[in-house]
Amino acid sequence: MVKTIISVDPKKLPWQQETPLHNRWHPDIPPVASVKEGEVFRVECVDWTGGQIKNDDNSDDVKNVDLSQVHYLSGPITVEGAEPGDLLKVEFLNLGTLDGDEWGFTGSFAKENGGGFLTDHFPCASKACWDLEGIYCSSRHIPGVRFAGLIHPGLIGTAPSAELLKLWNEREATLVAEEGTDKEKTLCGCLHTRPLACLPEAKGAMLGKLGHFKDKQEDSEWLAIANEAARTVPGRENGGNCDIKNLSRGCKVYFPVFCPGALLSMGDMHFSQGDGEVSFCGAIEMSGFLELKCSIIKGGMKMLPVVGPSPLSVNPIFEIGPLEPRYSEWLVFEGVSVDEKGVQHYLDATIAYKRAVLNCIKYLSQFGYTEEQVYLMLSCIPCEGRISGIVDVPNAVATLAIPLAIFDQDVRPPKTLEALAAGVKVVQNVCMSTEGGAVPFDPRL
């Protein structure tokens, strides 16, 4: 019998869960459970928004989402014997949905709420809901695709030490300080419309056993922690919100340990995700469980490369599990680092990938989908985003590969233009979006 060390009830609000959740990174957030090396244990997680999004046909919940609260994590978990400098090997024995909560959502935030990778093209909030049937998923909002999930936690990591936390806050504050400057305007081409980084913010913070902002906002001790606790938005040295779709069943992740007991936390469960998770809220977001087993390599953090001025500048490494769905036929889209305005960028893989994604959206929309439907689709189907060439000045080349077997029609280029016109199945556009809808995508924008 697998021991459940953290259970959740997706019907309750985040602050009503029996075991307190947390949504910030800080070494002082107290552990809520403890495990031994070799022990198999089960952790349950709410969806990353803590239940803000509903299984319905209106995307106002996505439009009005409160992002100060995210991501709600289960943990921290003490791994007995783990000490700073160790390497924590975590084996993902199983992952799945919670009984009675077998659904998920894919969304795109409104531009004023941060948007997604293509927010300039899709500035309005949208949502697609997915029915999860065992290994398969399908959506009434994006008909015509059905595929096997590759369940994974979008977010899992160990707690940062005070020193690492300081490193994060300083470097991210330095970046944010550039907002509005000339320098910022050149940062990564046309992606300026989003906040550069999310610095610590007490509002919305939930610090596990230490309590929630709504109860603690006048507690100076709590505030001291909340005001330096890192947001969970990006992936960092501790793992965190890496959104790597391959952290699925059977994989083995090697995390650096920065705090006594390692203090492992996780959440943001995804039923499936495409490389890049382009629409941001873009995987098939769900509640779910993980069954894990940990072991400790004493002093093993030395095995992790250090890249940077601090000895803490490391990243996790992992072994892929044996159960990923495999596809044999793929259609691939190329992109180079010339942006939608025709401006040439220098070896910019982000721009190149953006263009590959836009190419795919436009192409697939010839088969009866709206562009917004494809945007959401690419965010969650098991598509592969590759950095193909990164040295041929000035163009980085990125590719986006989509598996043909997930479609109920043949989306390869037909032999004639007429065949394309004749063969396209009209897929009803039921992918909702708030009033105003998507701004029509002008390919010559």
Contacts (CB under 8 A) with a second copy, residues 159-188: 167, 171-172, 174-175, 182-183, 186-188
DSSP designation for 343: -
Binding of a second copy by 260 (CB under 8 A): no
Distance CA 295, CA 305 (A): 20
- β-bridge partners, 99: none
With CB under 8 A as the contact rule, the residue among 223, 388, 423, 439 that binds a second copy is 388
Upstream peptide bond of 260 is cis (omega within 30 degrees of 0): no
Binding of a second copy by 7 (CB under 8 A): no
- Stretch in the footprint of a second copy (CB under 8 A) among 7-15, 51-59, 129-137, 222-230: 129-137
DSSP designation for 72: P
Binding of a second copy by 212 (CB under 8 A): no
Nearer to a second copy, 220 or 322 (CB): 322
With CB under 8 A as the contact rule, the residue among 28, 327, 429, 437 that binds a second copy is 327
CB 74 within 8 A of CB 8: yes
With the C-alpha atoms ordered 210, 212, 214, 220, is the resulting torsion angle positive or negative? positive
Nearer to a second copy, 393 or 426 (CB): 393
Nearer to a second copy, 211 or 389 (CB): 389
H helical segments located in 125-260: 162-176, 182-186, 213-216, 220-226
- Residues 43-82 touching a second copy, rule: CB under 8 A, are none
Query: What is the size of the binding site for a second copy (CB under 8 A)?
Result: 147
Tell me which H or E stretch contains 421. Answer: helix 417-423
- Stretch in the footprint of a second copy (CB under 8 A) among 45-53, 55-63, 89-97, 200-208: 89-97
In this structure, what token pair is assigned to residue 433?
Answer: 């979006």
Upstream peptide bond of 76 is cis (omega within 30 degrees of 0): yes
For the bound state, the minimum distance from the C-beta of residue 211 to a second copy, rounded and expressed in Å, comes to 26
Binding of a second copy by 213 (CB under 8 A): no
Binding of a second copy by 433 (CB under 8 A): no
For the bound state, the minimum distance from the C-beta of residue 219 to a second copy, rounded and expressed in Å, comes to 29
Distance CA 282, CA 291 (A): 24
x/- track of binding to a second copy for residues 354-373 (CB under 8 A): -xx-xxxxxx--x-------
Binding of a second copy by 138 (CB under 8 A): no
Binding of a second copy by 215 (CB under 8 A): no
Nearer to a second copy, 53 or 148 (CB): 148
- Stretch in the footprint of a second copy (CB under 8 A) among 13-21, 28-36, 84-92, 158-166: 84-92
Four-CA torsion 304, 310, 312, 318, nearest 10 degrees: -40
With CB under 8 A as the contact rule, the residue among 11, 12, 140, 412 that binds a second copy is 412
For the bound state, the minimum distance from the C-beta of residue 279 to a second copy, rounded and expressed in Å, comes to 8
Nearest to 129 by CA among 69, 58, 66: 58
**CB under 8 Å to 211, separation ≥6 — which residues?**
20, 219, 222
**CB under 8 Å to 83, separation ≥6 — which residues?**
257, 260, 298
- Stretch in the footprint of a second copy (CB under 8 A) among 19-27, 204-212, 217-225, 231-239: 231-239
Distance CA 434, CA 436 (A): 6
With CB under 8 A as the contact rule, the residue among 319, 425, 428, 436 that binds a second copy is 319
Nearest to 404 by CA among 380, 427, 383: 383
Q: How far is CA 273 from CA 26, 51, 165, in A?
A: 28, 19, 28
- 226: buried, middle or exposed (CB in 10 Å: 19+, 13-18, 0-12)? buried
For the bound state, the minimum distance from the C-beta of residue 20 to a second copy, rounded and expressed in Å, comes to 24
- Stretch in the footprint of a second copy (CB under 8 A) among 10-18, 53-61, 204-212, 288-296: 288-296
Binding of a second copy by 378 (CB under 8 A): no
Nearer to a second copy, 92 or 222 (CB): 92
Amino acid at 349: A
For the bound state, the minimum distance from the C-beta of residue 418 to a second copy, rounded and expressed in Å, comes to 10
Nearer to a second copy, 26 or 355 (CB): 355
- Stretch in the footprint of a second copy (CB under 8 A) among 15-23, 24-32, 200-208, 287-295: 287-295
- Residues 10-29 touching a second copy, rule: CB under 8 A, are none
Nearest to 251 by CA among 317, 297, 298: 317
